[in-house]
Amino acid sequence: MPFGMPATYSERTAMREVFTKELEALADGLVDLGKLAVEAIKQSNKALTTNDLQLAEQVITDDAQVNANQVEIDRRAVEILALQAPVAADLRIVVAALKMSVALERMGDLARHISALVRIRYPEHAVPEAFERIFTRMGSVAERIGEGMVELLSTPGLAAVPMISALDEELDTLHLEVFTVIASLSADQITPSQIADVTLLARYYERFGDQAVNVAQRVDYMLSGNLDSDASSAE
């Protein structure tokens, strides 16, 4: 096609098909990245509850793949922006993908931080007995919110967004409960290093939930064009 000449209908159709495939590949990449983040939190939970050093080391090593997947998603998104110049709903998809890839990568980082704490404290357990119930629950809720997020990415729709928000609120409540337990213990029942450990762990889980909410809000934006005013709070 000569420079400056309008494309024929068939050419425009072919270009649109290529563009659609590029957007589908971008969406598939986000699903894969989400699955990696969920698997990381599952394995970190197991490493934390069983004090499994080898498993913790594996989570830390596997985080490199999470990072690589995020780089590839961002490369695809930037290429679409540069070559396709999308507008309207298509532009929202690409912009949302760039934001979601960051949130998903951070979820992988948070799972890695949990495993890193297991490695630091080994052979001691990172979670004191008084906090075992809370962190078992936090781990379970984090897995559920991650799975809900992956389901949302796989089959986008707004019905799952309230469920993800509700799970995030539960993580917030458990986060605060950690401080309640800390305040109830005497100096001979918990050491300063243990206080630091459980504070960090609670924060990692709480932030994991926040990032899942961030992804859900970006899906909302992608589908409706509405961006909640709190969407940036988890970033």
Query: Which backbone phi and psi does 122 adopt, to 5 degrees?
Result: -55, 140
For residue 125, the 8-state DSSP code is -
Predicted pLDDT of residue 22: 87
Give the pLDDT confidence score for residue 234 in this predicted structure.
47
How many other C-beta atoms can be found within 10 angstroms of the C-beta atom of residue 232? 11
Q: So what's the pLDDT on residue 232?
A: 45
| DSSP summary character for residue 227 | -
According to the model, what pLDDT value does residue 16 have? 63
Task: State residue 230 phi and psi, 5-degree precision.
Answer: -95, 5
Q: What is the pLDDT of residue 82?
A: 87
Q: What's the rounded Cα separation, in Å, for the pair 229 and 231?
A: 6
What b-and-e string marks burial along 45-58, b requiring 16 or more CB atoms within 10 Å of the CB?
Answer: bbbbbebbeebbbb
Q: For position 13, what pLDDT does the model report?
A: 61
Residue 196 pLDDT: 97
Domains in the chain, CATH or no CATH each? 14-224 (1.20.58.220)
Dihedral class, residue 190 (left if φ above 0, else alpha if ψ from -120 to 50, else beta): beta
Tokens representing residue 27 in the block: 């969406």
Helix axes 9-50, 192-224, angle to 10 degrees: 160
Distance from C-alpha of 8 to C-alpha of 42, rounded to nearest angstrom: 51
Q: Answer yes or no: are the C-beta atoms of 221 and 227 closer than 8 Å.
A: yes
pTM of model > 0.85: yes
* pLDDT averaged per 10 residues, the chain (length 235): 45 63 92 98 98 98 98 94 81 91 98 98 97 98 97 86 95 98 96 97 98 94 69 47
Phi first, then psi, for residue 114 (nearest 5°) are -65, -45
